[in-house]
Structure 1
Amino acid sequence: MNYVTFGGVTVGLCILGYQLMTWWPGRKQLMKDPLKYASRLLPFLASWCYGCLTTLGVAGLIGTASSAVLGLSNWLGDVALIWGVGGQGGQSASRETFVPLSGPGLGLVLILTAVFIAAVAKAGDSGVLKRGAWCGICLGTSAGVAGFAAVPLAQAANVVAGHVYEAV
C-alpha cells in the first residue's frame, strides 16, 4: 500500500484548489446554467477517480508509476511545508485500512489505464486529465474525506468489474 504524508496531501489539495479556481465561472454564471458549468468538472473528476484507483493495491508498472508520483508528491509537499512555511513534513496522513481491488477490479484498472492514455492523447495538452489523476493519487489514501471516498470507489470498481467479467 502507498502511504501519503501531509506534504502529499498538501500537493493534492493545491492541485484541487487550482482546478476549482480555473473552473469557477462566477456565481452569476453558475446560477444561470449550473448543469453546463458542473459538467465541465467531469473530466477532472473521472481522472481523479482513476488516479485514486491506481493507489489501492495496484502493483506492476501502473502501481509503480502511481507510487513514484505519490513519493515525489510527498517529497515536494514536505519540502514546501518545511522550507515554505516552517512546518513539519514526513508525517503519515494515511488511513489505517483500505479496500483493495479484487482480481476483476485490477483488470478494470488496466482497462481504465488504456482509456486514460487514449483520453490524454486525444485531449491534447490541456492538463486537466493529468491534474485529476495526480490529485487522485495524492488524496486517494489520505485519512480525510477524499480518502474515504476511495472505499466506495474501490467497492464499485470491484462490483462493476465482477459483473463485466462474469458477462464475458
Structure 2
Amino acid sequence: MQIVTMGGVTIGLLLLVYTLITWWPGAKALRKDPAGAVASLLPFLIAWAYGVLAILTVGGLIGWVADTTLWISNWLGDAALVWGVGGQAGRQGATVAYLPLTQPGSGIVLILTAVIVAVAKRKKTPADVKSSLKTGAWCGICLGTSAGVAGFAAVPLAQASNWLGATVYGPFA
C-alpha cells in the first residue's frame, strides 16, 4: 500500500473543494430542492467511497491502479507544494492504522469496481456523471489513507464492506 504524502492530501483536497464549488447550487436552490441538489452530488460521493476502499485493497490490479494513482498524485502535489508555493514535500506527521479488507470485503470492492466501470462506460450516462465518478474515485484514493477526517472515513467504509461481504458470501466467508 502506498503511503500518502502532504502533496497527495493536497491534491485530494483540491479535488474535493473543486467539486463542492462547481456543485454548489446556491442557498436559494438548496432550500427549494435539497434532495435534488444532494442527488447531483451522489455520483461523486459514491465514487469517493469506492476510491477509499480501492486504496485499502492489498494487491491485485485494483490495488495496483489505486497505488499508482496515489503515487502520481503524491508526486504532483509535492511538486506543486515545493515549486508552486515554496513548501516542503514529505509524509504526513501522523500515521493511522487502518482496518484491512477481508476476503469477502475485497469481493465487494471487486463488485463495486464492475459497477463503477459499467456506469462510466454506459453510453446513456451523462458526461457530468462520468466526470464525477472519475473525480470522486481519484479524490477517495488521495484522501482514503490520510491522517485527517477523510482518512478516518476509511474505517467505517472498510467495516461496512467487510460486513456486507460476509453477509453476501455467507458460508463461503
Distance 2:126 2:32 in 1: 30
Structure 2 match to 1:159:
163
Summarize deviations over 1:86-132 as a string: whole Å, max 9, x none.
10012236633000000000111111111111011123543110000
Aligned counterpart, 2:4: 4
Is the contact made by 2:92 and 2:147 (CA closer than 8 Å) also made in structure 1? no
Shift of 1:57: 3.3
Residue 167 of structure 1, CA deviation: 7.1
Cα distance between partner residues in 1 of 2:154 and 2:142: 12
Moved more, 114-123 or 46-55: 114-123
Is the 1:5–1:93 Cα contact (8 Å) retained in structure 2? Answer: no
Root-mean-square deviation over aligned CA pairs: 1.5
Q: Give the TM-score, by structure 2 length.
A: 0.92
CA contact (8 A) 1:104 1:161 kept: yes
Structure 1 range deviating more: 61-70 or 91-100: 91-100
Does the residue aligned with 2:88 lie in a helix, a strand or coil? coil
Instruction: State the aligned residue count.
Output: 168
Q: CA deviation at 1:52?
A: 0.4
| 1:147 alignment partner in structure 2 | 151
- Say if 1:56 and 1:137 are closer, same or farther in 2 by CA, change over 3 A: same
Unaligned runs of 5+ in 2: none
Q: How does 1:2-151 map to 2 (within 5 A)?
A: 2-92=2-92, 95-122=95-122, 123=125, 125-126=127-128, 127-151=131-155
Q: Deviations over 1:51-80 (max 9, x none)?
A: 000111331111000000000000000000
TM-score of the superposed pair, with normalisation by structure 1: 0.95
Query: 2:137 is aligned with what amino acid?
Result: A
Distance in 2 (CA, whole Å) between partners of 1:25 and 1:13 is 20
